[in-house]
Amino acid sequence: MADLPLDGLLVLDMAQFLSGPAAALRLGDLGARVIKVERPEGGDICRSLYLTDTDIGGDSTLFHAINRNKESVALDYRQEADRALLFRMAARADVVIQNFRPGVADRLGVGPTVLRAHNPQLIVGSISGYGEDGPWAGWPGQDLLAQALSGAMWLNGSADDGPVPFGLSIADMLAGHVLTEGILAGLVRRGIKGVGAHVETSLLEAMIDFQFEVLTTHLNDGGRPPQRAKTCNAHAYLASPYGVYRTADGWLALAMTPLAKLETLLGVPLAGDGFRDRDRLRAIIADSIAQQATAAWLTLLRAQDVWCAEILDWPCLLASEAFHRLDLLQTIPSRGKSVVTTRAPLRIDGHRSHCAGAAPTVNQQGSAIREEFS
């Protein structure tokens, strides 16, 4: 870890659930020391947020994935002694990450202004659900709700499906990435000008930014709403043949390809406009592609430089040579078991960082941290 770019920096992760801890995880993957500040009773609520019935040492796999390689200290912000310890930690920290509801951190006496008063060079990163004020500010900042409010659900699925949510906590993950970008920018400015920063984003802002490409089209296209194709839809704004098609034994993703070229390869008539006749053309393409196996289509289409790919499930992805060559998995000993999880999705000077430790138990390093910052 000593060769990573953030080696020597201290991050206090005061956040819960996914978005804030995910940002802290990224900073840890880049070499920072991350101390997770948790509630004495139960710690981060994510410890008991189960995706399946799998349990590792009393905590969910979700918690283990997002909080690997962190230390834990339990603090009760209502107690003066614990707040004083937090302030001493903040005075020596480089970054603090929070994702309280708007106003809560200030009411507890641990908000960004108070923390930065103890360390003017501190970078405080805050994530809310929908911004710090306004009519939605007090609503629960939860991933599915942010997806619903952002308009993104209306881009997925085909025309008759209704709104289709992503099968991932995409608002949380994106907000974590956006906050990480802002924190790194704050650290760069601190290195140049010697000043700290308060970096803010929200689940809603991250979801809106995620749609900037198509939203810009909508804003400059007379306000016309996107129209999803009736079948095989993969992008509400792209013409045929762009879409997802069932083959005789699986599924095929077909990207931008001239219709005339595809007409020759499929042996079917595809005359028409890719936008205006999108549904009719996709139905013809779908009928043709359904007649042969995926491997046969890949052989035929790739030989003619048609952009296409088999749609893989996780077992097929994990078994592929391409996945193994990326070396994206790591096994971490944890509480008498082993946790298999992902590694950092980037390489620095040709190397991908390894995790040095598992996710902590509540207050696992509490005694040592209290002594260190006494």
Burial of residue 249 (number of CB atoms within 10 Å: 0-12, 13-18, 19+) = exposed
What would you measure as the largest C-alpha separation in the chain, in angstroms?
77
Q: Give the catalytic positions in this structure.
A: 172
Per-residue CA distances from 52 to 46, 59, 168, 208, 332 (Å): 13, 12, 14, 30, 20
